[in-house]
Amino acid sequence: MTAPSPSHARILEHARQGAIIVTAGRRLARTLRCAFSAHAGLAGDRVWPTPEILPWNAWIHTLWESALYAGAPLPARLDRDQELVLWEDVLAEHPETDQLLDLPAAAEAARDAWELMHAWRLDRRAVEAAAGDDTRVFLDWARRFEHISEIKAWLEPARQLDHLAAGLRLLALPASVVLAGFDEFTPQQRDFLAACERVGIRLEIAEPAGSPGRAVRVAFPDRTREFEAAARWARALIEQGQARSVGVIVPDLEAVRSEVERIFARILDPPRFLPGPASPSRAFNVAAPPPLIAQPLIRSALLALQLDRYRNPLGLVSSLLRSTFFAGADSERSARARLDAGLRERGVAEISVMGLRRACRRADPPCPLWRKALRRWSQLDSQLPERRLPGLWSRDFTLLLEALGWPGERSLSSQEHQARRTWNEVLDRLARLDAVSREITRRQAVALLGRLLARTPHQPESEPAPIQVLGVLEAAGQQFDALWIAGLNDESWPRPPQPTPFLPLALQRARRLPHSSPERELEFARKLMRRLLLTAPHIVASWSERVEDRRLAPSPLIRDWPLAEPNHLILCHSPTLVRLLSEASRTESLRDWRAPAVPQQTWSRGGTRVFQYQALCPFRAFAELRLGALPIRFPQPGLSPTDRGHAAHAALEHFWRNVESQQKLLALDPGELDSLLAAAVEHALNAIRTRRDDLPARLVELERLRLHRLLACWIQIEKRRTVPFRVIAREDCRQVELAGVSATIKIDRVDRLDDGREMVLDYKTGECSISDWQGDRPSDPQLPVYALSHQGPLGGLAFAQIKTGKIRFRGLASDPLPAPDLSSCDLSSQLRQWRLVLEQLAAHFREGRAEVDPKQGPRTCRICHLAPLCRIHQARLDAEDLEEESL
């Protein structure tokens, strides 16, 4: 353990003499406590008094508790959660609240403006005199907030310092208080400290000691290389023994935390990416922890609390089925995955808990453990009232989660244990809201809990790390052997002003409130930079010359610093784990495009998709039809294009079953035709409702009107056909075999013309083109396969395109043309050509031809889901790299 810096040494000496040390933030308080204990141990002390080193808010809380015990006449103290609930209630009751898009966010902004008014001593009359529309509404909220607080004898944090200052004489106060890490004090804080001095407390503000460190600035092409250089620089200093503690400061750390942690972990903690449990000790620590709600364990609990007895979106149900934090999750992992896929295949967009329980029983294999958990949940849910206080909901939430077996059957990791402990603390905070809340519904309670979780940062406890990645304010009062300040470009430092919208801007600027003007931000940034220069003897400031498509210049605060080149810095050039693994093995190249041949005599799965996929991309035919690499469906509310297509097919099949021929069609009067169409549409909708019991009645009615109108237009096309016809087959199943590939096909319709020829029709409710039948790799060979299977005298084959705005026939036929919009051709010659093409595709499939070869390149890949498996995009990038290297 090295000796503390002069600044910290003086602070620790005051602590040894019994002074209370009050810090600007929790991180500095923790640092000073650790340093005190470490040096006391190294000095040979076996026991020592625990120093009173507290962050500002904790010190104020301690004084408040002491005042209560001393009998001071103080009102009930609201914590920040309770205060925010009160603000939300005030806003919800205001007549102009309907204009707010996000009431909780507006309540937070109002709370912040209220705190600024008191912290910076803004006169209410001055605010009212300069008030605009937003400020006037805010003042209405504030008056209502004050009125409720007075009636209830509540006091929020914004006014607690003023009340506490009046009762300081009643307290047993320390003789000395040292303030550390403060860059500035608000007028309210200064008044409170003056009151402390008046009652005899000796105050001392710990100023950074020493001379400014040697500083240089460095430019990097982009942010990734900037962060990588900072990590390699920190690692080099630690490994070479030139520093025991290294700080890396990132002004916008909250926004880029995930990127920073990923880059630093790759360079400073490579074993983290290897299988097995993570090491408890780490070389670095990143501040600005993510909110508790980001933890998978906590996210699963919040999702489970959103479970509804009657309606649950498939996304919620799917997340619960795939979660590892519920009863039987490991035992039924595969069964639940199959259940999830089955619900998607059925097109289920919403499902009740009872419906999910039935699905668990009918699934193959079933999910009895999850079904039992849902039954326990249902029994408990049926006993809960509509409205309760938050504290009772807090208890009920625990019981509901226990019914579902949360947090699961496996042992939790250390990080998950800590997350669960923090979860329980948040539930306690929810229960404390009873003091200010009315009875609320479960949905409101879950939303309130979600906001508490989103406002609760969670960083698992870990050993102190030699490399600390911090935000600018978190570095207050810290001391390092070396410091790197990243992201100092002219857009982000000084920060752009962000004044509160609820206070007059001119007044904010006149009183120099934080974030009120560019001049105020520049002044504060200069103050911080002067402090940071005293933080370490060696300082590097960096910026990225380009972010996305914008070129950036260095911050004006570092333009006078000496400019250094990146290669002049001490950087660790150790290869990454990925490079080490790739270099440790011998790489072989293999053009692996041929799969094992089909072992059976005949392939009989996939229908006409065998020919279609083999033509579009041989790899797709192999992956989907032989490996079963099928996409997961994402059902949406309402009717999908597939549902509408099935409805049109079913309606036309029913219609022609009754009508049978063009002659009978022409003989129908308008009323009879309309009745037959209505019956056909109703038949189709009944078939859909059998599969989809979640469809709203209004949606079904709209689909009835749409489909009836669309089919009526199509029937007019049928009436105008020049060659009379009779429908001889509808939804006709057949078997076809080509070069060892057997396909079961279903032909939508076959017409027999009066001249003896027959015509094969395929209904299409989307786009279609006869060009998809042509060439050595036809994109849609379905109708050609139908034609090759037909035994009668074929006179034509066509799409019957039934799409709003495109109602027509598209196809090929021999003369005379049996329907409008068909193209004339020699069908005998065309059938021979199709047979050669399709037999060749079938042979390639059976031989195992599975190369990644999309027919139309990226255009074909856009309608394929196999890119992560075939990695064609990576292949294209590699090809581009090789091309660049050859130039």
H or E element at residue 190: helix 187-198
Q: Are residues 192 and 219 in the same domain?
A: no
Quickly state the pLDDT bin for 498 (edges 50, 70, 90). very high
The overall average pLDDT reported for the chain is: 88
Sign of the Cα torsion 153, 158, 159, 165 reads positive
CA atoms within 13 A on the CB side of 145: 28
Quickly state the pLDDT bin for 71 (edges 50, 70, 90). confident
Q: Are residues 158 and 175 in the same domain?
A: no
Q: Are residues 371 and 447 in the same domain?
A: yes
Last residue of a domain, one of 423, 454, 485: 454
Q: Are residues 665 and 753 in the same domain?
A: yes
Range of the domain at 487: 214-273+282-289+467-568
* Cα–Cα distance measured from residue 835 to residue 839, given in angstroms and rounded to the nearest whole number: 6
Nearest to 208 by CA among 6, 45, 429: 6
State both tokens at 370: 């999850």
* Cα–Cα distance measured from residue 778 to residue 762, given in angstroms and rounded to the nearest whole number: 17
Quickly state the pLDDT bin for 690 (edges 50, 70, 90). confident
- pTM, full prediction: 0.80
Answer whether residue 798 is part of any domain. Answer: yes
Per-residue confidence (pLDDT) for residue 585, from 0 to 100: 66
Q: Are 864 and 617 in contact (CB under 8 A)?
A: yes
Percent of the chain with pLDDT over 70: 93
Quick check: 97 pLDDT over 80? no
Residue 875 or 542, more confident: 542
β-strands 312-313, 822-824 pairing: unpaired
Last residue of a domain, one of 520, 549, 568: 568
pLDDT tens column, 339-353:
998 888 877 888 899
pLDDT tens column, 154-201:
999 999 999 888 888 888 788 899 999 898 899 999 999 999 999 889
Mean pLDDT along residues 447-468: 86
* Cα–Cα distance measured from residue 676 to residue 680, given in angstroms and rounded to the nearest whole number: 6
Quick check: 718 pLDDT over 80? yes
Answer whether residue 593 is part of any domain. Answer: no
Quick check: 557 pLDDT over 60? yes
Q: Are residues 62 and 200 in the same domain?
A: yes
Mean pLDDT along residues 3-18: 78
Mean pLDDT along residues 705-731: 93
Phi, psi of 180 (to 5 degrees): -125, 140
Quick check: 795 pLDDT over 60? yes
766 alpha carbon, distance to own chain's centre: 33
Per-residue confidence (pLDDT) for residue 689, from 0 to 100: 80
Alpha helices in 43-120 (DSSP H): 56-69, 80-93, 103-119
* Cα–Cα distance measured from residue 354 to residue 754, given in angstroms and rounded to the nearest whole number: 56
How many domains is the chain built from? 5
Q: Are residues 436 and 544 in the same domain?
A: no
Quick check: 207 pLDDT over 90? no
Q: Are residues 662 and 737 in the same domain?
A: yes
Q: Are residues 476 and 557 in the same domain?
A: yes
Using CB atoms within 10 Å of the CB of residue 102, give its burial: 0 to 12 exposed, 13 to 18 middle, 19+ buried.
exposed
Q: Are residues 694 and 810 in the same domain?
A: yes
Percent of the chain with pLDDT over 90: 55
Q: At what angle do helices 80-93 and 103-119 cross, to 10 degrees?
A: 120
Q: Are residues 420 and 305 in the same domain?
A: yes
Q: Are 179 and 206 in contact (CB under 8 A)?
A: yes
Quick check: 280 pLDDT over 70? no
Quick check: 131 pLDDT over 60? yes
H or E element at residue 538: strand 538-544
